[in-house]
Amino acid sequence: MKLRIPTVAHGLRLQSRRASGISYPRFLEQQLQQLQFSASKNYYSTQSVEGRYKEKLLQKAKREGLASVAELKDRLKEEIEVKKKELNKIDPLKELEDYEQRMKMSENNIKAAKSRGPIDPNQAVLPFKTLDTFLKVDKLRDLSPQEIEFLWRARWTNKNLALNAVVPQAIFAKMLKNVRSSPAFVLPLPRQIKTSEEGTQNEQGLELHYIQWQIMSANTIHCMMTSLAEFKLHKEFAKPHTTFQFHQELVSDKGIVLMNGQIEQDSNVSLQDAQLLLLNVQRFYGAMGENTAIAKQRVQLLHDFTKGSPNFSVDLLIKLAQSMEN
């Protein structure tokens, strides 16, 4: 039984009327001749790229004032490495999102808290508060650092969900160096997740928080904390659940930085939660120094996050945040 081969005459006729006069064997013969002609030409050189473009590379080297292609390659080596690093960059927030999906953390975060809604973009922006808002700086200059600390702590004694600290200037300077180069980061926070409708069963989970620094003036710096779920939902209009203010007015004559923090009433963040996040802010931003191996790891991971380095790892972030070692 012979197989019927579908005719291609109609298809060829649509392309060219003259093609209908060529028999199918003749058509194949012409195609084979064309292939043989193409193969005889050196379209696919086996020479290396450098070999084929040696003359052009040498001309470029001479324009750059260099004697050889080798010297040109040496000069371009650093530029090539920079380009490679740019191509290998990752989006740390995308890495975090992938991790959440793998660990089902997004579902846990939804269970842990409801969205607080975005900041109203039309809301009037109030002036930020300086140290003089809380204590008169002129009067503080006549006091010792110990007396200032006593007054500062007393100022916040009866405030709900408030934190305060007096930071030595040398320690704050270590943090500030890393704040300037890495003004954003993420930190994990342990969470008890309800696994039953009645709330009788819980399991240990994690919630990621987005840390943002903002230099308000020469003397005032803010550190704002927002759950990563809220940040992804509302971006720049996400409401911080906690804000820390660092005041540097007394650095030059007293050698101290005064800090106060406030947790929002409608957030699901406790005083202990904020304290733990603040502790890890200090550790990852180098406030405790970089003298130990784990301290160096924390600061390096901060920089890896900022640069989008493929070395950034969510697993390592959690491990370093949970470690009690400094």
Domains identified in the chain, total number: 1
Q: Does residue 205 lie within any of the structural domains?
A: yes
Q: Does residue 51 lie within any of the structural domains?
A: no
**Residue 299 and residue 302: Cα distance in Å, rounded?**
5
CA–CA distances in Å: residue 9 to residues 34, 38, 43, 314: 21, 26, 32, 62
Q: Does residue 58 lie within any of the structural domains?
A: no
* Structural domain for 137, as ranges: 92-322
pLDDT in tens, the chain (326 residues): 443 433 333 333 334 444 444 454 555 455 545 444 444 444 444 455 556 567 777 777 778 777 787 877 777 777 766 665 555 555 666 666 666 655 555 444 444 455 566 555 666 566 899 999 999 999 999 999 999 999 999 999 999 999 999 999 999 999 999 999 999 999 999 887 666 566 566 677 888 999 999 999 999 999 999 998 888 888 787 889 999 999 999 999 999 999 999 999 988 899 999 999 999 999 999 998 888 999 999 999 999 999 988 899 999 999 999 999 98
CA–CA distances in Å: residue 195 to residues 102, 125, 166, 199, 204: 18, 40, 41, 7, 10
**Residue 299 and residue 312: Cα distance in Å, rounded?**
12
Q: Does residue 190 lie within any of the structural domains?
A: yes
Does the global pTM surpass 0.95? no
**Residue 91 and residue 312: Cα distance in Å, rounded?**
10
Q: Does residue 166 lie within any of the structural domains?
A: yes
**Residue 177 and residue 303: Cα distance in Å, rounded?**
12
Q: Does residue 260 lie within any of the structural domains?
A: yes
